Each structure stands twice: as C-alpha cells, then as structure tokens.
Amino acid sequence: MNILLLHGIFDSGRIFAPMIAVLEAKGHRCFAPSFVPADAREGIAPLAEFVAQYVAEYLPLNQPFALVGFSMGGIVARYYLQHLGGAAWARVFFTISSPHAGSLWGYAYPGLGAKDLRPQSALLSRLRATEASLADLPIHNYWTSFDLTVFPAVNCRWGRADSEQDVRGLWHRWMVKHPKVLAGITRKLEECL
C-alpha cells in the first residue's frame, strides 16, 4: 500500500526513516515530504494545501493510501482529510502524539501554526466541528502519557479514533519508532489489505 507520512513542527520527513524501513520491508511504498517552512509560521492550512498538491503530484492517481501524521503532522492531515477532500482517498489514518485538543506550548512560539495548535484555537474548533466527515475512515491514535511536547499529554487523545493506545513512550520524538507504534501500524495495515 502507498503510505503518506507527515512530520511535526521543526522537523522533516527524515524523522520517519526507522518507520519507513519497517514498512517498506513489509512491501509498502512510503512518501515522506518535508514541510516548508517547518515551523508552520504561515499556519496549518497552507501545509495541508501542500499535502493536497503533493498527493496529486506524487501518489498514483485515484488510488487509496494510508496516512500517518506525527505531532503537528496529524493536525495537518486532519485539515487535508476534512477540508481538502483527502478523506475520499485515504483508506486508514494513523495519528501519533498529535495535539488534537491543542498544546499549551503553542503559546510559546510566534507564528500562525503555533497559534493554530493552541487549545481552543479557531482551527482546532473547526476540525472538531467537522470530524463527522471522517465517519467512514478507520482512525488509530497512538500517544504517550509521558509527553512533554504536547502539554498536557492528555490533549493527544481523540474521541473520534476507532482505537487509541497510550504506549508510554518516554520522549515525543521517539514515538515514530516506538515498537508498539510500529507493530500496531503494521498490523492495522495488514487488516486493510
């Protein structure tokens, strides 16, 4: 299956190298673009528009794919799915340590993306109000109660997810290579084939 992986703030698609190695060993084809600017200073919506353009250019036309969103990438993915038509093509959606209810760290950095990631932001409220558009999409959410990047960590929880697991990873960035996350995603992908 084709898999699109979206990274978090201040990062790049390279963070997914360990996950890509596992997924490609299982026969999947992975795409991990890097956002520019990586700090989302222009907001979440432009990054989601970039995702829509990337999908149109690089993924096979009209073929379903799996979507993995880590941290901010999970919120970018939601905007793409819920407001830019991505839900029509995504077959399954995995979120990893994404601030579905925002993060207080959004107040510590200037820029529209950080503002979008604050608790009760207009963008998160809009996503909450339109998540019914994901009714037919299987969603699996992985988070850690030890998260200090999404603060409070419980803001990674998402009631819409079909399954949710606190894997108790010690570091936010480690979540993309946590054995329980990799095993869970691999298993769920096999169920989709």
The string of pLDDT tens digits covering residues 38-63 is: 999 999 999 999 999 999 999 987 78
Tokens matching residue 23: 């997924």
Each residue of 99-127: pLDDT tens digit? 999 999 999 999 999 999 999 999 999 99
pLDDT for position 60:
85
Left if phi > 0, otherwise alpha if psi is -120 to 50, otherwise beta: which for 27? left
SS3 89: coil
pLDDT for position 63:
86
Q: State how far the Cα of 64 lies from the Cα of 5, in Å rounded to an integer.
A: 14
CB 115 within 8 A of CB 45: no
SS3 138: coil
Q: State how far the Cα of 70 lies from the Cα of 93, in Å rounded to an integer.
A: 11
Residue of 159, 120, 169, 172 whose CA lies nearest to 7: 172
Q: State how far the Cα of 76 lies from the Cα of 61, in Å rounded to an integer.
A: 21
- Tell me the whole-structure pTM to 2 decimals: 0.96
Residue of 134, 139, 193, 145 whose CA lies nearest to 169: 145
| Mean pLDDT score, 92-105 | 97
